[in-house]
Amino acid sequence: MKSIASAPAKIILFGEHFVVHGTKAILAAIDKRVTVTTTLTHTGTLKINSELGTLEIPISSSYKEAKSEFRPFIFLANKMINSNQNVNGLEIMIDSDIPIGVGLGSSSACCVAAAASISELFKELSSEEILNLSIEAEKTIFPDTSGADCTICTYGGMIEHPSIEKIDSTFDLNLLIANSMIPHSTKNSVEKVSKFKENNEERFSQLCDLENGLIDEVITAMKNNDATTFGLKMSENQKYLEEIQVSNDTLRDMISSLNEISLGSKITGAGDGGCVIALVKDENMDKAPALLPKDKECFSAKIDTKGVVRSTIEE
């Protein structure tokens, strides 16, 4: 039997980093996906195939000794196998069109799709159960995760975190994503922000209050069909991200270039590299590539409404 599940990439529109320290955030799923296919085998092994490499280990091996990119899959496979003693082997294939390590949620989407794909072979889980499993899996590589990324990859659409309330946009969100092509480590950036918090407790607490207030204003702006305020709030949020030092010259230059054709722009995700997003008027979309250095990639993103999708095939 074979089980196939896919999950979307994500962007954080507002609230990255602060969300790790308890603030609200607004996230959206976008139209790029990872697909995980799991097959029951008789090899006595767990085999994982992805663009990052192949691993084949005895079925009961611990995730702790494996390279970090394989850990969530081994963790999920172990969890399912432990409660289903008659499983002899599993093969997990990962196919993705989400760029890795640039803030678009590749690792969270993998955890969600893998949790759905592996579990579906044994038991039908609710979306909430898949989400909880995927967060546990993500914690094998990033223990401090806020869980916001796995949440949007599970439910899709646009949501406020942590309430998981769906947000309907009253205007067309023409979002441009520009990749700085600088890889980053979310874990390292989050640790850096925690140090900033330790050294600047009072200011960090003020910034958290400002972020929560800003998100309330964004929700009101969306209800009022007010794209201009939405864009201005993106740029205001960027100032907070500059202050906690997750930006750099490359990202600042990209943001300032994109500001020429957008209503607002900012880092999305952990920063220190990765991607920036801009709210761009339709007629200006084609102008973006010429404004950015030649080594940067950009594309327009559509909101994905489906979230995690699963199916099984009897063989």
Q: Which is nearer to ligand MEV, 57 or 182 (CB)?
A: 182
- In the window 189-228, what residues touch ligand MEV (CB under 6 A)? 190
Q: Which is nearer to ligand MEV, 109 or 190 (CB)?
A: 190
Q: Is 270 one of the binding residues for ligand MEV (CB under 6 A)?
A: yes
Q: Which listed residue (3, 145, 179, 238) binds ligand MEV by CB under 6 A?
A: 145
* Alpha-carbon span 279 to 259, nearest angstrom: 9
Q: Which is nearer to ligand MEV, 55 or 241 (CB)?
A: 241
Q: Which is nearer to ligand MEV, 144 or 286 (CB)?
A: 144
| CB neighbour list of residue 98: distance below 8 Å, 6 or more residues apart | 9, 32, 33, 34, 104, 105, 106, 109
Could you tell me which of 83, 84, 154 has the C-alpha nearest to residue 114? 154
Least distance from C-beta 206 to ligand MEV, angstroms? 18
Q: Which listed residue (69, 120, 149, 272) binds ligand MEV by CB under 6 A?
A: 149
Q: Which is nearer to ligand MEV, 49 or 185 (CB)?
A: 185
Residue nearest to ligand MEV (CB): 146
Show the beta-strand stretches assigned E in the chain: 2-14, 25-41, 45-50, 53-58, 89-96, 158-161, 165-166, 175-179, 262-268, 275-280, 297-301, 309-313
Q: Which is nearer to ligand MEV, 68 or 220 (CB)?
A: 68
Least distance from C-beta 20 to ligand MEV, angstroms? 5
* Alpha-carbon span 278 to 255, nearest angstrom: 8
Q: Tell me the three-class secondary structure of 239-303, residue by residue.
A: HHHHHCCCCCHHHHHHHHHHHCCEEEEEEECCCCCCEEEEEECHHHHHHHHHHCCCCCEEEEECE
Q: Which listed residue (9, 14, 16, 154) binds ligand MEV by CB under 6 A?
A: 16
- In the window 150-189, what residues touch ligand MEV (CB under 6 A)? 186
Interface with ligand MEV by CB under 6 A: which residues?
12, 16-17, 19-20, 103, 145-146, 148-149, 186, 190, 269-270
